[in-house]
Structures are given as C-alpha cells and as structure tokens.
Structure 1
Amino acid sequence: ETLEYGAELVVVATGSHWATDGLNGITCRPIPGADASQPWVLTPEQVMVEAKRPPGERVVVYDCDGYFMGASLAELLALEGYRVTLATPYAQVAPLCVETLEADPLLRRLHEIGVSIATGMTVTALEPGRTLGQDMFANPVTLEADAVVLVTQRVSDDTLYTELTAESPESLSTAGIEGVYRIGDCVSPRLLGESIYDGHRLAREIDSLDPSVPLAYLRERLLVTAAATSLAPWRERADRR
C-alpha cells in the first residue's frame, strides 16, 4: 500500500511495543520462562488495551523501565483488588520520576493502597506460581505470584521500514519514492518528548542533503565589545585625562 500511495517521501513512525519475553536492559536478554502468550504472563498493552487480567490474586509487576509505567500498573491492579508486589532492579521505585518531581507522591500512593515493594531485585526466571530472582548481592529471592506483568523493555516496530528499505532502488523509483526515513520509537524506544523532537527535526530539515542525519546546531553568540559595556564611558573619561 505504501508503494502504491504516490508519496515522494515516506516517514515511518510505527512506534514500539513492550517485550513479551522479558527482554530487558539489565541482563540484556529475555527472561527464561517469560511468554506473554501464557495466561499468567502479561505486558502493559495486554493489561491496558486488551483488558487481560491475572488469573489469581497475587501479582508481581516487574519494572526495568524505571519511569511511570510499572508503578501505574501496580496502582491499577491494586485498586482492582489484586495483591501486588512491585519489583525492580533499581535501588528505588521509578528513579526517573525523581527528575520529574513525581517520586514522593508516587511512593506515598503505592504505600496507601498496599502495594509491596521489592527494590534491587533482578528477575532471573519465571515459573507458574513463582518469580525467581536475586538481590543486589546475588542472593536468591523468590516471590510467590499467580501472575507477572513484564514492564521490562520496549521493542521497535520497524517491520514496515525494513521492508521498504529492502526494496530495490528501481522499485522505489518506479513508485515515485525519493526517500524513506524513520523517526521516534521506530528508530529506538525513547521518551515522548524525544519522539516529538525527532519528527519536528526531520520536518524542518527534510530539504537538506541527507535528512536522516541531523544538521549541526546553530548557536547564537553575542559578541560584547567595549562600547557595549557599562565600562565604556569610564574608559572614555580615562582616555581624556
């Protein structure tokens, strides 16, 4: 359909999705036993979009993202009556929320609704009824749980971009396509503001020689001369003397 649309320039902004196998930036690999096709393993999209729910009342939310998503899902499920433990490999819950001044009210809220916290825990394997891991000193940790919500890492949805760039130059030329670019999470998952900037930057530089490469910043520098400073009159009087 993209080849038949008639556009000269194609910008792919297809986003990303949460890993269904527990792939994360802590171990840089999937979690053994993690499979979101199982009824007891869930992802944020499955909870929020598909309304998938844990099969039992004990739930572990495993958060390697470090921002609002893990804590938000823990709050949602706790308010729905589940017994929730929020586990994270970081030294505190949602460390990125410290930068946005949300950390303190977030922690108070989780405490008020009864969410248990397990910081410094890296999950090493999932089994039905158990979440296995280790603490920051590599001591084994086991959490009894009927279900696990994986908030581990997002993965780019770049299939369309890969298919388009795999086309021969002749095929693209025949379709009238002069350039194919990608932005935002399709390049690599990132914060919303960074994705917005990525699209804005490409739009402003779309007529450059290579829009896929950002132009260098043009920084304005104010040149201050003696005549422009408050010392100038004093210097003139000194010269007259």
Structure 2
Amino acid sequence: WARVRDYRLGQIERLSNVRMYLESEMDAGQIQEFGADAVALATGALWRNDGVGRSIRFPVPGCEALTPDDIMDGKRPHQPGSAVTVYDDDHYYMASVIAEQLASEGYRVQLATPGMCVASWTEYTLEQRHIEKRLLNVGVEILTRHELSAVEAGALRLANTLTGDTREHEGSVVSVTARLPRDELYDALKGKIPVRRIGDCFGPSIIAAAVYEGHRYAREFDAEIYPDEVPFNRTRYELQH
C-alpha cells in the first residue's frame, strides 16, 4: 500500500500547478486563514477500541482495547511473552499483520474471529490460504467462530457463535473491528467555508476507494451536480425479431 501512496506523490510532484505541504497538520482556524475557495478534507479514519464491528453492534463491556493505530504508534500490550488476543471483525489483512508482528516480538498471540476462517475477505484476492499458513508458521493460535463478549482486567471472554458457550482467556486484547471517520475538522468548518469530506473521512473503506474518491472530487469540482440524477450513462439495447 505504501507504493500506492508513493506513486501518487510522484505523479503530483510533476504538476507545476500543484503545491504540496507534507507533514503540515492544520486546525480549523488555519484552514480558514489559508483563504482557499474550496476545501476537501481527506483526514482519514481511526480504528475503534470498543469491539464494535460487523458482528457486534454495541460496545463490548469493559473493552478499551489497543487498536492497529496504537500498535503502529509503538504502544504494546504489557511485556513480551504475555498473552495477547487479536480480535478480528474486519476480516481483511490488518488483524493478521498485527498478529504476526506481535508474535515476532515474543508475545503469545491468539487470533480470534467470528468468521469461518482467518481474513475471510482475502479469499477473493487468493491470499487467505497463504495468510493462515504464515500465521501458523510463526506460532499464532487461530480461533474461528468466536465473538468477543467481555473484557476484564488481564482477561477476556469469547463466545462460540454456534453454541453460545463462553470461555475466559488470559491476556490483553487488540481490537481490529471497524473504523470511525476523523471528521472533527469538518464539524468545525461546516457552514463557514465551502468544505467537502472525501475518502475515509466520509466513509472508511479500502485504499482503492480513497483513490477513487479523490479522483471523483477532481472530476466534479467545476461540474454542476444533479443529486437526483443517475451519475453515469446507461446503454439501452432493443431486441427486434
């Protein structure tokens, strides 16, 4: 995914009419002072820490877990050698990446998911078998068809999605479930200047969707949009005999 980012930056750098300010975080006041005629906010999204995801609609009691954002920022669950459950209700690649990283650092890692297999969405990209094999090779224990039901001090409870039976597991939790848009800037600017949310700031999705959203914003920038019309051309065929 870093290649996608690097490629986009490389293409933008070639444009003489585009200026980039990297690593320049701005607040609402600074954006207004900038004086732009229009603002697009692509501020991304953050992973939830309360267990809410595809299967669980309400926060899990006691759950204030670490998230992928925390792990990538350098935070860790207790000491290496301790037990960690990576709870995956995202079903893509992120949970397996986090589990493999923690296992390489010496943690005793268990990956639990409500799905029938690890990273089930990657079956569509022909990666699932390779991901599961790699996790087993680095010592990650895999527990499918289990849902996070509660988190306590130094322990968590997982429920079998078929039987409903719950069992306590020692250790801490890393929650890989759903993401929430970082839309605080949008709320602060809405109604004050022309502003639009795009990408994960509008609706968290995969990187391909974020690229599409940016391209769509540029295409529609000077166009008159009719929200009630179909935004694409339809080809109609008539069969005669």
Give the shorter-chain TM-score range: 0.7 to 0.9
Shift of 1:4: 1.3
Given the superposition, is the C-alpha separation of residues 212 and 19 from structure 1 closer, same or farther in structure 2, using an over 3 Å criterion? farther
Q: Report what 1:197 is aligned to.
A: 212
Q: Report what 1:48 is aligned to.
A: 72
Structure 2 gaps of 5+ residues are 1-29
Q: C-alpha offsets along residues 88-146 of structure 1, whole Å, 9 cap, x if unaligned?
A: 01111101111111111111101111111111111111012221121122422324232
Shift of 1:27: 1.8
Q: Report what 2:127 is aligned to.
A: 102
Given the superposition, is the C-alpha separation of residues 4 and 215 from structure 1 closer, same or farther in structure 2, using an over 3 Å criterion? farther
Shift of 1:23: 2.2
Shift of 1:30: 1.1
Q: Report what 1:218 is aligned to.
A: 233
Q: Distance in 2 between matches of 1:203 and 1:211?
A: 16
Q: Distance in 2 between matches of 1:213 and 1:81?
A: 55
C-alpha contact 1:19 1:153 (8 A) present in aligned 2: yes
Q: C-alpha offsets along residues 26-80 of structure 1, whole Å, 9 cap, x if unaligned?
A: 1211111111xxxxx311111112x111114111000110000001111111111
Q: Distance in 2 between matches of 1:22 and 1:138?
A: 20
C-alpha contact 1:31 1:126 (8 A) present in aligned 2: yes
Give the TM-score normalised by structure 2: 0.80
Q: C-alpha offsets along residues 124-180 of structure 1, whole Å, 9 cap, x if unaligned?
A: 110122211211224223242321101111111011111211x3xxxx3xxxx4x21
Q: Report what 2:57 is aligned to.
A: 28
**Quick check: 1:117 aligned with 2:142?**
yes
**DSSP 3-state at the match of 1:42:** coil
**Quick check: 1:15 aligned with 2:15?**
no
**Quick check: 1:130 aligned with 2:150?**
no
Aligned residues: 209
Runs of 4+ in structure 1 over 3 Å off? 210-215, 219-223
Give the TM-score normalised by structure 1: 0.80
Q: Report what 1:142 is aligned to.
A: 167
Structure 1 gaps of 5+ residues are 36-40, 224-241
Q: Distance in 2 between matches of 1:2 and 1:211?
A: 28
Q: Distance in 1 between matches of 2:134 and 2:83?
A: 19
Q: Report what 2:201 is aligned to.
A: 186
Q: Distance in 1 between matches of 2:148 and 2:185?
A: 33
CA-based RMSD:
2.3
Q: Report what 2:34 is aligned to.
A: 5
Q: Distance in 2 between matches of 1:160 and 1:150?
A: 26
Q: Distance in 2 between matches of 1:104 and 1:147?
A: 27
